[in-house]
Amino acid sequence: MRRPSDLDALQQVLCAALGSAEPVAPLARLGHDTRAFATLDAAVRERPTLIGGGSLYNPTSPVPTPHALAELARRAEALDVHQILVPGVRRADDTRALRAAGLVPVPAAPECVVRLTGEVDDVLRTRVGADRLRDVRRRHHAVSQETTWERIRLRDLAGKPWARAAFADLHRRQAEHGYPTGEQDQGDGRHHPYNVDALDALARGALADRTEMFVRRRNDIVVQAGLTTTSHNGRGLYCLTQAIDHEDADARDDLYAATLYQLYADARTSGLEWVHLGRGEAERMRCLGADLFVPLDHWLRAEGVTAPQDGPEEPELSRFTAPPVTTVPVPGPARFRHQPRFDTVDLTSNTNPFLGPESQYPHLDTAELAHAYLSTISALPGHVGVDALSPDHVLFTSGAVDGVMLLLAALASPGESVCVTPPTFPLYTHFARVLRLPLVEVPLRGDDLSELDTERILAADPRVTILCDPNNPVGTRLDPEEVHELVTGTSGVVVIDEAYVEFSENPSYAALVARHDNLIVLRTLSKAWGLAGARCGVALAQPGLIEALRRLQVPFGFTDASQRAVRDRLTNAGPALAAVKLIRAERKRLAAALADHPAVDRVFPSQTNFLLVRLHKHDLVMERLREAGIAVADTGHVIPATCRVSVGNQRANDAFLEALSFAL
């Protein structure tokens, strides 16, 4: 809730709950936020505090204007109250006015939002996985069999005295037992924010027409009651509170999860786009479908409480950033990617408002998707240490090749060279030439084309060195000691393209980006993850390098549809990982069959999903394969007499082997 009238209505609710004309209470009495204030001195927690700028209820507070803050200070002085609190301010908002007024931030739990980007079951399967979805549906079905579900408009509450009394009684008892109200921070039992007076104030206020009470009854006994309010932009639902009458923790969890599922379904049926769950612990809320977590701070003016040392709003740019890039900001709306607009009336984008959600631009804040990506790959073999990376180390691109173009443009200036190690992926050379960057070619060595000429690369002193590991088109891996020697010895940036690393038995270099400020690891979801159509590449690097790339990235290139596809594949990774095992098995079978084939001179070792094959009578064999309707990549212009064969399914591989048998 961002409108002043809505926030004023919640202020009146708070005053009614406190039983006072002004919203003044000790911090220790504010049960919702006991944990947030736990690190403060006891005297600060017990001192009366004027609460302004918003409310302690779930919706966040916009930053008050300087005039409003000055008025708040005057009220505090008139009331002889020496502390001021502005709760729940989004960290990405412009908080200079709060600092200027002498308030300091106290970290709070983030606000948690479930974005309803499709049918509820599809959304939850994408967010929490198929197994968790089945569990939630089971709970919802069991609860629905045992209880009734009813929603009551707050304007009609006077005709339902039993609901009014039960709501207040449940909240009182829940606070006395120290249970959380919903999933927010646990209170201390001395205060609960929704008593009868608070409920009546809400029913009389500006929010009454948009607010409903929901209740569950078992045998006419109310076992759960809560409140929801539709947002002022008409696009979403705030879950303000819910209280549950049950001593058993599992039963409380069942009721809570089942009710959220019901609220999602009701919101979706009503055409709403999101449900706001309030403040909570991110990991727990992820399990309930939340996919947007907005960092918050409470802002407090109190004697003895000083501001923490400020960090930069954006990561400090990498020392490798090309000079022109240092003078330009992140383009357009991407600058505001951390400022959510789900609960605003957004009139900035000049799109058609009458044609549904597809008319809106894609989500720019991909931090939660980055968290999902890191969590998923950190569990894979060969990815030890990846869990130490944060979303600030991640940039999603329109395929890994887009990442190559971005990094060359962001890090290399005219006259600075780019080193490639042929045979390698040809677009590295293509982009370097398009950007008019001098090219240094240092071919791979050894029978398997897997040895770096590190000495020659270092002598060339390139600005950017691009390694393809596993190599395309060869399929082999580089010597890790040679790669480490290059990363630590070069004065430039090393880029390792790991497009095929999931098929490899050797470790990824992804975790090393936390230790080397000159290392970029490129990944893709086009290969092992089977999402070539989604066009999703991933750049992993230290935040200063990611910031440099972001300054050149075209906004909105990563569509909502692609984001949903990626999220679904990462959350439900089982089929993709099983397919990787099948591909490895087929690779082994195909390699063995080719090794004994009379048309084949050599099969190179491979840690990818393809095989490089040297042929006898190369030109004749390639012609016969084309005539048989078999398409393989002709790499003879790069590595004489070779072709690159993707590992298909068993039927495709057998068709290739059969055609090869008639080629000579």
Instruction: List the structure tokens of 659.
Output: 């055609």
Structural contact between residues 467 and 493, judged by C-beta atoms closer than 8 angstroms? no
What is residue 82's predicted lDDT score, i.e. its pLDDT? 94
Q: What is the CATH number of domain 363-572?
A: 3.40.640.10
Q: What is the mean pLDDT of the chain?
A: 91
Check residue 189 and give its pLDDT.
38
- Give 623's pLDDT tier (boundaries 50, 70, 90): very high
Indicate the class that CATH gives domain 582-661: alpha beta
The per-residue pLDDT for range 293-322, each reduced to its tens digit, is: 999 999 999 998 887 765 445 679 999 999
Give the Å distances, CA to CA, from 28 to 48, 402, 456.
9, 52, 66
At which residue do the structure tokens 């004697």 appear?
Answer: 303
Q: Tens digit of pLDDT for each residue in 147-186?
A: 999 999 999 998 999 999 999 999 888 877 765 444 443 3
Taking residue 311's Cβ as centre, other Cβ atoms within 10 Å add up to 8
- Model confidence at 55, pLDDT cuts 50, 70, 90, reads low
Q: What is the DSSP string of 527-568?
A: STT--GGG--EEEE--HHHHHHHHTTSPTT-S-HHHHHHHHH
pLDDT tens digits, 138-158:
999 999 999 999 999 999 998
pLDDT of 533 strictly over 70: yes
Instruction: Work out the pLDDT band at 192, boundaries 50, 70, 90.
Output: low
Average of per-residue pLDDT across 422-450: 97
User: pLDDT class for 248, splitting at 50, 70, 90?
Assistant: confident
Q: What is the pLDDT of residue 312?
A: 47
Burial label for 205, CB within 10 Å (0-12, 13-18, 19+), is buried
Q: Taking the complete model, does pTM exceed 0.85, yes or no?
A: yes
Task: Give the number of other Cβ atoms within 10 Å of residue 331's Cβ.
Answer: 13
Starting from the edge strand earliest in sequence, which strands make up the sheet with 633-634, in order?
600-603, 610-615, 642-646, 633-634
pLDDT value of position 372: 96
- Which residues does residue 482 pair with via DSSP β-bridges, in sequence order? none
Query: pLDDT-derived band of residue 188, with 50, 70 and 90 as boundaries?
Result: very low
Calculate the CA 136 to chain-centre distance: 22
Residue in 304, 243, 282 with CA at minimum distance from that of residue 102: 304
Q: Does residue 464 or residue 28 have the better pLDDT?
A: 464
Q: With a cut of 80, say whether residue 191 has pLDDT above it.
A: no
Q: List the chain domain ranges.
A: 4-301, 363-572, 582-661
- HEC profile for 188-209? CCCCCCCCHHHHHHHHHCCCHH
Separation of alpha carbons 555 and 629, rounded Å: 41
Which segments of 123-266 are extended strands (E)? 148-153, 211-218, 221-230, 236-244
State the pLDDT confidence band at 34, using cuts at 50, 70 and 90. low
For the segment(s) 4-301, the CATH number from 3.40.50.300, 3.90.1150.220, 3.90.580.10, 3.40.630.30 is 3.40.630.30
- Please check whether residue 170 is in contact with residue 222, taking contact to mean a CB–CB distance below 8 angstroms: yes
- Which residue spans within 60-180 are E strands per DSSP? 83-90, 104-115, 148-153
